[in-house]
Amino acid sequence: MPADQRPRERFNLVGPRRLKDAEVLAMIIGSGVPGQSSLELARSLLKAFGGPVGLSGATVQELQKADGVGEALAGRIAAATELARRCRLRAPKNDGG
């Protein structure tokens, strides 16, 4: 994969908000597994769990059932989604006024 298409390089080039869901997840994954890049694994997980929302509701045990996901990676993904959940809960509410 060309360097300018790798998630980390794109993150540095265009910033996190311009990355696709799979690229953001690939950043959390870090490195791929034999035969599958982090980006390919991210795409596979998003498809298997129905996108970011489905992934965020998955338990560590459910994540570990996916090919290429072990205990450490499942924990990292679950921790990232938990942090996002806490951010949503603590974000100031816009009351429309």
Mean pLDDT confidence for 1-16: 76
Q: Render 32-85 in DSSP notation, one character per residue.
A: -BTTB-HHHHHHHHHHHHTSHHHHHT--HHHHHTSTT--HHHHHHHHHHHHHHH
15-74 per-position pLDDT tens digit: 888 899 999 999 999 988 899 999 999 999 999 999 999 999 999 999 999 999 999 999
The answer to whether 25 and 45 have CB atoms below 8 angstroms apart is yes
Q: What is the pTM of this model?
A: 0.84
Instruction: Find how far residue 93's CA is from the centre of its chain.
Output: 25
